[in-house]
Amino acid sequence: MDNLIGLQNYDMNFQKITAKKEDGPIKIRVLEQVIEKMAMELTEGDQQIQDLKLSRRQYEQDIASLQSQIQKSNEKIANIKSNKEYEAVLKEIDTFKNDATLQENKVLEILLKIETLEEKHEKDKEILNQKKLTFQKDQKLIQLEIQTLDKEIALLLKDRKLLRQEIDPLLLKKYDSLREHKGGLALTPVIKGICQVCRMGIPPQKFNELLAGKELMSCPHCMRLMYLGEDNSPEK
Ligand SMILES: [Zn+2]
């Protein structure tokens, strides 16, 4: 029975280490996704800045063409004879000037937006670089941890194999089958007459037989092989 308890410890340890080993790649993937998302947002931000710069150039072209129209109107004034014509040209110049002012305000607005976005962009770039550095460090640590776990697993499997060789093959078969059908746990400690896995009480007569320790017994409820757990004192 001691060998079986040892074997169950190995098997439980094996499960724990394997689960821990699977955590590593999951953690790496999560970190990768965070960085991918940030990089994507950064590209989007950059595109936004490029778009604003483009519309700024378009507004500036509009302003330039308005200014050349104002200049042409001013040149027209020199050759004007009638008052009515003169007023019409002045009105025209006014309209051009108003348009130009509107466009200039838009350019200012865009310049402010670009400035704010570029500041944010620089900061985000800095944060992303930091994240990438942290990620590389974390990745190395996780890979080292996986290597350590691999060594532990190899050692565990070797010891487990040796231990299995010392156990009666029939018993081993029973253990493996129980393990497979009972959620990885083939053995159960019994403390004060209670099966510690299914938490059911063992009938007194059976419990006394277990205390006598003559043969291997199964929990009548969950069918796992019973052994006396620690902290067990014979009752009555
Ligand atoms: Zn039980």
197 alpha carbon to ligand 1 midpoint, in Å?
6
199 alpha carbon to ligand 1 midpoint, in Å?
6
For the stretch 31-55, pLDDT in tens is 999 999 999 999 999 999 999 999 9
In a domain, 121, yes or no: yes
156 alpha carbon to ligand 1 midpoint, in Å?
27
Six token digits for residue 105? 């305000």
pLDDT, averaged across the chain = 93
201 alpha carbon to ligand 1 midpoint, in Å?
8
pLDDT given at position 54: 97
- List CB contacts of 228: < 8 A, sequence separation 6 or more: 189, 190, 191, 210, 211, 213
The per-residue b/e assignment along 156-194, b for 16 or more CB within 10 angstroms, e otherwise, is: beeebeeebeebeeeebebbeebbeebeebbbbbbeebb
pLDDT, mean of residues 130-147:
94
Q: Pick the last residue of a domain from 165, 197, 217.
A: 165
Indicate whether 133 and 220 sit together in one domain. Answer: no
In a domain, 234, yes or no: no
In a domain, 180, yes or no: yes
Q: Rounded to the nearest 5°, which phi and psi values hold at 214? A: -80, -40
Q: Give the 3-state secondary structure of residue 49.
A: helix
Q: Pick the last residue of a domain from 135, 165, 195.
A: 165
Indicate whether 70 and 174 sit together in one domain. Answer: no
218 alpha carbon to ligand 1 midpoint, in Å?
8
146 alpha carbon to ligand 1 midpoint, in Å?
35
Indicate whether 83 and 131 sit together in one domain. Answer: yes
Q: Where in the sequence is the domain holding 130, given as residue range(s)?
A: 9-165
Indicate whether 53 and 141 sit together in one domain. Answer: yes
> How are beta strands 217-218 and 225-228 bridged, if at all?
antiparallel
In a domain, 46, yes or no: yes
Q: What is the pTM of this model?
A: 0.64
Indicate whether 119 and 178 sit together in one domain. Answer: no
223 alpha carbon to ligand 1 midpoint, in Å?
6
Look at the alpha carbons of 62, 63, 66, 67 in this order and tell me if their dihedral is positive or negative: negative
Indicate whether 135 and 149 sit together in one domain. Answer: yes
157 alpha carbon to ligand 1 midpoint, in Å?
28
160 alpha carbon to ligand 1 midpoint, in Å?
25
Identify the residue whose tokens are 């990768």.
Answer: 32
Q: What is the CATH number of the domain that holds 30?
A: 1.10.287.1490
181 alpha carbon to ligand 1 midpoint, in Å?
14
In a domain, 223, yes or no: yes
Indicate whether 27 and 97 sit together in one domain. Answer: yes
Indicate whether 184 and 144 sit together in one domain. Answer: no
61 alpha carbon to ligand 1 midpoint, in Å?
85
In a domain, 209, yes or no: yes
Indicate whether 64 and 180 sit together in one domain. Answer: no
- List CB contacts of 59: < 8 A, sequence separation 6 or more: 103, 106, 107, 110
Number of domains in the chain: 2
In a domain, 155, yes or no: yes
Indicate whether 144 and 193 sit together in one domain. Answer: no
188 alpha carbon to ligand 1 midpoint, in Å?
7
DSSP state letters, 24-35: HHHHHHHHHHHH
227 alpha carbon to ligand 1 midpoint, in Å?
11
For the stretch 144-189, pLDDT in tens is 999 999 999 999 999 999 999 999 999 999 999 999 999 999 999 9
In a domain, 196, yes or no: yes
Indicate whether 15 and 33 sit together in one domain. Answer: yes
Which amino acid is residue 56, in one-letter code?
Answer: R
Within the chain, where are the H helices?
2-77, 83-165, 169-181, 204-212
Lowest-pLDDT choice from 31-45, 80-94, 95-109, 222-236? 222-236
